């Protein structure tokens, strides 16, 4: 657990409410790990074959939604790519990915909700299957309290290519939130959580005020049955459908170009 600056966050003096945000397609449009991988490729962390493979997985994710096996596959490949690199190297790539790809994908409506919770004195935590380095940077840039994310093992300041613990996904998110609440004296009954996928249901059911954001079909059905608020965030300049098409087109185009490049003689 870190605060937005990567330091250990001191617990509050009394019980307080918090807001927990999933990241991909809840806080921002698209798959953050894909944009991080694209930036990693630009600076030479890995070759075009690896990025083409991640592009294919990201496209399947965007078309068919989250699946544990798909997320695990993306994370396993990404872990192999960072093996041997230092914390400082990955931190620099995360900063670049934020500036080049993530900043303008943050939904204005989601940003406004984050700011509203902070103004009300709530803690705000991002909870993501993406690397903790990405989650912590997003939290810092948004002024949030901190982040919970997937942690890659480090030995001697270099990544080993293995996970430290479990992928921050599904029930693991709910356990992490409960542990965080115990350590920091957070009142989950008065807290809120925001998610877009049925895989976020364990997290959403951990708090007193769950909110479905841009929900997939299963989460939308559950939210309607339970009477949970449903919010649909888009960028002001495009409709939700147009945004979805643009994300799919960008990922598909990247994958096609890279797939063709790797088939050429001498392709990296």
CA nearest neighbour of 40 among 89, 93, 80, 91: 93
Q: What is the CA radius of gyration of the chain?
A: 18
The predicted-structure confidence for 13-29, as pLDDT tens digits, reads as follows: 566 999 999 999 999 99
pLDDT score recorded for residue 75: 64
Residue 120: exposure state from Cβ atoms within 10 A (0-12, 13-18, ≥19): exposed
Q: What mean pLDDT do residues 70-91 have?
A: 77
pLDDT of 144 strictly over 90: yes
Question: pLDDT of 165-191, one tens digit each?
Answer: 888 989 999 999 999 999 999 999 999
Closest to 37 (Cα-Cα) out of 65, 85, 75: 75
How many angstroms separate the CA atoms of 174 and 55, rounded?
Answer: 28
CB distance 255 to 52 below 8 Å: yes
Q: Which residue has the tokens 């068919």?
A: 64
pLDDT score for 254: 38
pLDDT confidence of 40, banded at 50, 70, 90? Answer: confident
Contact in structure between 8 and 1 (CB atoms under 8 Å)? yes
**Residue 100 structure tokens:** 């080049």
Domains of the chain from N-terminus onward? 2-263 (3.40.50.1000)
Which position has the higher pLDDT, 247 or 146?
A: 146
Tell me the C-alpha distance between 5 and 137, whole Å. 8
Give the relative orientation of helices 68-82 and 48-64 as an angle to the nearest 10 degrees.
160
Mean pLDDT, rounded, for 99-117: 96
**pTM confidence score:** 0.79
Whether 250 has a pLDDT exceeding 60, the answer reads no
Q: Active-site residues: which are they?
A: 22, 24
Q: What pLDDT is recorded for position 247?
A: 44
Residue 255 has pLDDT above 80, yes or no: no
Query: What b-and-e string marks burial along 158-171, b requiring 16 or more CB atoms within 10 Å of the CB?
Result: ebebebeeebbbbe
Q: To the nearest whole percent, how much of the chain has pLDDT over 70? A: 70
Query: What's the pLDDT tens digit per position in 219-249?
Result: 999 999 999 999 998 754 344 444 444 444 4
In whole angstroms, give the CA distance from residue 28 to residue 168: 17
37-41, 149-153, 230-234: least confident range:
37-41
Using one digit for the tens of pLDDT, what is the confidence trace for 85-95? 999 999 999 99
Tell me what pLDDT residue 253 has.
39
């Amino acid at each position: 657990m870190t605060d937005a600056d990567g330091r250990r966050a001191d617990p509050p003096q009394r019980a307080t409410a918090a807001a927990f945000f999933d990241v991909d397609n809840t806080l921002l449009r698209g798959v953050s790990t894909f944009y991080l991988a694209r930036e990693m490729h630009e600076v030479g962390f890995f070759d075009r074959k690896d990025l083409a493979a991640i592009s294919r997985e990201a496209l399947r994710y965007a078309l068919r939604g989250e699946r544990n096996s798909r997320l695990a596959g993306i994370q396993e490949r990404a872990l192999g790519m960072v093996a041997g690199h230092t914390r400082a190297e990955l931190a620099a790539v995360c900063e670049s990915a934020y500036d080049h790809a993530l900043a303008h994908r943050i939904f204005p409506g989601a940003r406004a909700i984050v700011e509203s919770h902070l103004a009300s004195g709530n803690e705000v935590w991002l909870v993501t299957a993406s690397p903790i380095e990405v989650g912590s940077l997003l939290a810092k840039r948004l002024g949030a309290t901190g982040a919970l994310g997937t942690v890659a093992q480090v030995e001697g300041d270099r990544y080993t290519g293995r996970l430290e613990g479990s992928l921050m996904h599904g029930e693991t998110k709910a356990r992490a939130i409960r542990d965080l609440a115990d350590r920091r004296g957070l009142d989950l009954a008065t807290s809120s959580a925001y998610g877009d996928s049925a895989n976020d249901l364990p997290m959403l059911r951990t708090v007193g005020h769950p909110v479905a954001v841009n929900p997939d079909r299963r989460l939308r059905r559950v939210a309607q049955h339970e009477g949970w608020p449903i919010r649909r965030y888009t960028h002001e300049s495009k409709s939700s459908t147009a945004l979805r098409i643009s994300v799919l087109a960008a990922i598909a185009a990247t994958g096609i170009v890279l797939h063709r490049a790797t088939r050429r003689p001498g392709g990296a």
